[in-house]
């Protein structure tokens, strides 16, 4: 390792390739041409809004074009996949927001990229969100929503899109993969400890594809199909949703939600806003984490409904002038018949400060710990404690372009090393 | 008489022009009809569609109905005019997730206050070369009301970092003589000094129409249309 650099020399070619690409685009974004483009983008925004019936029905198309570069030590942490530790990702996201009179709101999100999470896969086009929200009655605070949409649990979903997110990657509870799988039921404590890399015996073939097997507590914004009701009473708001997919379900499962038609996941959130600056929430969720094709691996005499993911969460946020703070804590339990309950606790806190109209910086502390399971009569943690610190400076180049950097240092769950370092950069063009 | 004889002569010689000047000033002050007026009509572009509020990740929403802001123009008299003795104060409100007004002309040197009349945060910012600022998140009850002084003539685009559909313009002018048209494009600009000037109609960031006007020192309105 280079004594002066926090990264090995062999990192540089890949990091340079990804970094230079993003920086060249960023430099282009600061030219006079871009400032003219900015004006055109404002005009485009007006053009992409259409209305009918004297403005009572309106629709607006908007979107983001993202270019991301990653460089990480292997095995790559979180949910993104790379063979050599470097990755260049492009993503086009198009949003539709439509107001149909005062009582109906329709929204959708389509993406073209290489998978929901960054990875070395083929290009694909997906409809990640599409939902109709109805606000019947004159008060309009009681809402009914049907479709595919982000979970109501927690406060991260409200800022998970690249433009509003101070970071490039998700917090640990939303992306750190545990030893739990959704494709096969755990049949022994030894099996679970192997999947969690705490016991030898997992084949190299399995290790190579395990990101398509393991589950986090919450998979990103959890865009599963479902129905939600919500309302507000004074300073309190609540939302209850029934979805065809547990919080931990992976993006592929969201598109096959009929598998869970007999095992809906119920989640709820209660929010208290004592004033504009503060917000406190508690959430809970209960659903089945195994997918349909795990049926043949269930313990004798059990059904998929016995393999539940139960989550309780609390969150808080504060904002004042140029400060923003968020914090969340999640307790999750995966029930495993004949083996016991696998429990984990994860939390994080984020801080963002805007130094100037263009420069801001963000800092995040993440941690996840695991409870014990009984392994051959001995209480044994079913996962390795993980902590991670993320630092993310960001530069708003124009009202429509933003450049972010992120450095992450993670300890735990990174065998054979103690720590994993990741560099990421993201250029976003908003239209 | 308190003056000594030599000084008394000087005072006596200075009196006639002084009295004349006072008479003219008095006449000007007592006769507003001597200030010129120009009126006319500006052809405005078609009405823009009202924006749509992004409510995707709000668990409860009761908004979504925004007021329509029809396009208007700013008509102003270009020329060399003195800076205001005391900085004028203007207001750009945020009400029902909309900027009010959506287009605010001001004279350079004006302080603009940004009162938040909603029960949620707003975060007003501008990256425009004429004025770059970020007010951060602030509430309706926060005092003093956040404000900025706009010293440099030019166009300033305001946005809200929280509500992406919110956008408004401040047109900073080097003249105290300006007016916003009504929704039909009609305007009436009063209290103008007599003389030859250039009258401009600012319609949008790409369109400013111009015409020369000669303003008499009478109250007979001068007609100026911008077709």
Q: What pLDDT sits at residue A31?
A: 57
Q: What percent of chain B has pLDDT over 90?
A: 65
User: Quick check: A5 pLDDT over 50?
Assistant: no
Identify whether residues B6 and B88 lie together within a single domain.
Answer: no
Weakest-pLDDT range from A162-176, B14-28, B103-117, B204-218: B14-28
Same domain, B132 and B203: yes
- Residues B96 and B114 placed together within one structural domain of the fold: yes
SS3 state of residue A355: coil
Same domain, B85 and B165: yes
Q: Is the peptide bond before A92 cis (omega within 30 degrees of 0)?
A: no
- Please compute the mean of the pLDDT values over residues B9-22 and round it to a whole number: 49
The total of other beta-carbon atoms located within 10 Å of residue A377's CB is 7
**pLDDT confidence tier of residue B195, bands split at 50, 70 and 90:** very high
Q: What is the CATH number of the domain that holds B104?
A: 2.60.40.420
What is the reported pLDDT for B106? 97
Contact A224, A244 (CB under 8 A): yes
Query: Taking CB atoms and an 8 Å limit, are B49 and A99 in contact across chains?
Result: no
Domains identified in chain B, total number: 2
- Residue A4 clears pLDDT 80, i.e. is over it: no
Alpha carbon of residue A389 to chain centroid? 17
Which residue ranges make up each domain of chain A? Answer: 9-430
The sign of the CA dihedral B192, B193, B195, B197 is negative
Tell me the C-alpha to C-alpha distance, in Å, between residue A379 and each of A205, A368, A376, A384.
29, 18, 8, 14
10 Å CB burial of residue A233 (0-12, 13-18, 19+) is: exposed
For residue A292, give the DSSP letter: G
Lowest mean pLDDT among A114-128, A252-266, A347-361, B10-24: B10-24
The C-alpha atoms of residue A282 and residue A71 are separated, in whole angstroms, by 36
Digit-coded pLDDT (tens) for A113-168: 999 998 888 899 999 999 999 999 888 889 999 999 999 999 999 999 999 999 99
Question: With an 8 Å Cβ cutoff, are A358 and B164 in contact?
Answer: no
For residue A14, what pLDDT is reported? 57
Determine whether A267 is exposed, middle or buried from the number of CB atoms within 10 Å of its CB (0-12, 13-18, 19+). buried
| Average per-residue pLDDT for chain A | 90
Query: Are B18 and B81 within one domain?
Result: no
**More confident site: B153 or B61:** B153
* Residue B80 and residue B140 share a domain: yes
The SS3 of residue A362 is strand
Q: What is the ipTM of this complex?
A: 0.84
> Looking at per-residue confidence, does A206 or A304 come out higher?
A304
Q: How far is CA A160 from the centre of its chain?
A: 6
pLDDT (tens digit, 9 = 90+) per residue, A219-238?
999 999 999 999 999 999 99
Res B67: pLDDT: 64
Domain identity same for B170 and B200: yes
Partner-chain residue, chosen from B57, B134, B205, that has the shortest CB–CB distance to A354: B134
The verdict on B57 and B96 lying in the same domain is yes
Asked if residue A311 lies in contact with residue A218, where contact means CB atoms within 8 angstroms, the answer is yes
Report which of residues A41 and A428 the model is more confident about: A428
Yes or no, beta carbons of A60 and B51 under 8 Å apart: yes
Same domain, yes or no: B21 and B49 = no
Alpha carbon of B114: minimum distance to chain A alpha carbons (Å): 14
Domain with B11, as residue range(s), is 1-30
Indicate if B26 and B118 belong to the same structural domain: no
Q: Is the CB of residue B178 less than 8 Å from the CB of residue B133?
A: no
Closest residue to A231, CB basis, from B56, B60, B126: B60
> Tell me, what's the pLDDT at B46?
82
Assess whether pLDDT exceeds 50 at residue A1: no
pLDDT tens string A48-99: 999 888 778 999 999 999 999 999 998 888 888 888 889 999 999 999 999 9
Angle at the Cα of B91 from the Cα atoms of B89 and B93, rounded to 5 degrees:
165
Give the model's pLDDT for residue A296.
92
| Co-location of B160 and B103 in the same domain | yes
- In chain A, the percentage of residues whose pLDDT exceeds 70 is 91
| Between A64 and A14, the higher pLDDT residue | A64
Mean pLDDT value of segment A392-398: 95
B150 with B78, same domain: the answer is yes
Residue A21 binned pLDDT confidence (cut-offs 50, 70, 90): low
Residue A189 parent element (H or E)? helix A189-195
Q: What is the pLDDT of residue A8?
A: 47
Question: Rounded to the nearest 10 degrees, what angle do helices A12-29 and A32-47 cross at?
Answer: 70
The CATH superfamily holding the domain A9-430 is: Porin (2.40.160.10)
Phi-psi region of A413 (alpha: psi -120 to 50; beta: other; left: phi over 0): left
Q: Which residue has the higher pLDDT, A302 or B16?
A: A302
Chain A residues 118-157 within an 8 A CB cutoff of chain B: 129, 133, 135, 139-141, 143, 149-150, 152, 157
């Amino acid at each position: 390792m280079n004594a002066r650099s926090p990264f090995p020399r062999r990192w540089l070619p890949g990091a340079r390739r990804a970094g230079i690409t993003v920086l060249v685009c960023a430099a282009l974004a600061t030219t006079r041409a871009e400032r003219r483009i900015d004006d055109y983008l404002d005009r485009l925004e007006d053009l992409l809004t259409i209305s009918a019936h004297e403005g009572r029905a309106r629709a607006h198309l908007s979107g983001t074009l993202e270019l991301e570069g990653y460089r990480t030590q292997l095995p790559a942490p979180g949910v993104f996949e790379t063979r050599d530790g470097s990755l260049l990702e492009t993503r086009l996201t198009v949003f539709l927001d439509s107001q149909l009179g005062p009582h109906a709101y329709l929204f959708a999100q389509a993406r073209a990229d290489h998978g929901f999470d960054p990875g070395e896969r083929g290009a694909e086009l997906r409809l990640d969100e599409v939902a109709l929200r109805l606000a019947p009655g004159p008060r309009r605070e009681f809402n009914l929503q049907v479709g595919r949409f982000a979970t109501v649990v927690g406060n991260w979903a409200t800022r998970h899109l690249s433009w509003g997110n101070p970071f490039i990657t998700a917090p640990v509870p939303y992306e750190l993969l545990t030893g739990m799988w959704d494709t096969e039921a755990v049949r022994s404590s030894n099996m679970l400890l192997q999947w969690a890399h705490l016991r030898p015996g997992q084949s190299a073939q399995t290790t190579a594809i395990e990101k398509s097997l393991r589950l986090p507590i919450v998979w990103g914004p959890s865009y599963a199909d479902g129905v939600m009701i919500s309302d507000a009473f004074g300073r309190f708001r609540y939302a209850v949703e029934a979805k065809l997919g547990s919080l931990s379900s992976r993006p592929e499962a969201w598109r096959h939600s009929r598998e869970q038609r007999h095992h809906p996941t119920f989640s709820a959130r209660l929010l208290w806003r004592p004033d504009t600056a503060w917000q406190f929430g508690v959430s809970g969720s209960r659903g089945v984490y195994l997918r349909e094709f795990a049926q043949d691996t269930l313990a004798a005499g059990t059904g998929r409904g016995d393999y539940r993911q139960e989550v309780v969460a609390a969150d808080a946020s504060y904002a004042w002038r140029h400060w923003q703070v968020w914090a969340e804590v999640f307790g999750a339990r995966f029930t495993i018949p004949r083996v016991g309950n696998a429990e984990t606790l994860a939390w994080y806190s984020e801080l963002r400060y805007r130094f100037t109209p263009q420069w801001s910086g963000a800092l995040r502390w993440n941690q996840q710990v695991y409870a014990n399971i009984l392994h051959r009569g001995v209480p044994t943690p079913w996962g390795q404690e993980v902590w991670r610190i993320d630092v993310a400076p960001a530069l708003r180049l124009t009202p429509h372009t933003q450049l972010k950097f992120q450095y992450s240092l993670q300890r735990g769950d990174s065998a054979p090393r103690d720590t994993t370092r990741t560099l990421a950069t993201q250029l976003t063009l908003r239209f | 008489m308190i003056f000594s004889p030599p000084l008394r002569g000087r005072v006596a010689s200075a009196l006639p022009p002084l009295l004349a000047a006072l008479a003219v000033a008095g006449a000007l002050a007592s006769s507003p009809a001597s200030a010129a007026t120009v009126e006319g009509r500006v052809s405005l572009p078609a009405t823009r569609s009202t924006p749509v509020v992004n409510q995707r990740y709000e668990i409860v929403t009761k908004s979504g109905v925004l007021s329509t802001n029809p396009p208007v123009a700013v008509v102003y008299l270009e020329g060399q005019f003195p800076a205001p003795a005391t900085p004028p104060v203007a207001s750009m409100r945020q009400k029902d997730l909309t900027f009010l007004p959506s287009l605010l002309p001001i004279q350079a040197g004006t302080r603009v206050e940004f009162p938040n009349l909603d029960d949620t945060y707003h975060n007003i910012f501008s990256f425009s070369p004429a004025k770059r600022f970020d007010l951060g998140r602030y509430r309706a009850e926060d005092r003093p009301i956040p404000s900025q002084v706009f010293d440099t003539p030019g166009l300033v685009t305001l946005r809200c970092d929280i509500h992406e559909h919110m956008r408004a313009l401040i047109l900073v002018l080097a003249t105290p003589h300006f007016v916003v048209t009504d929704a039909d494009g009609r305007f009436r600009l009063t209290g103008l000094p007599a003389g030859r000037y250039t009258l401009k109609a600012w319609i949008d960031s790409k369109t400013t129409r111009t015409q020369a006007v000669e303003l008499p020192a009478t109250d007979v309105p001068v007609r100026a249309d911008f077709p």
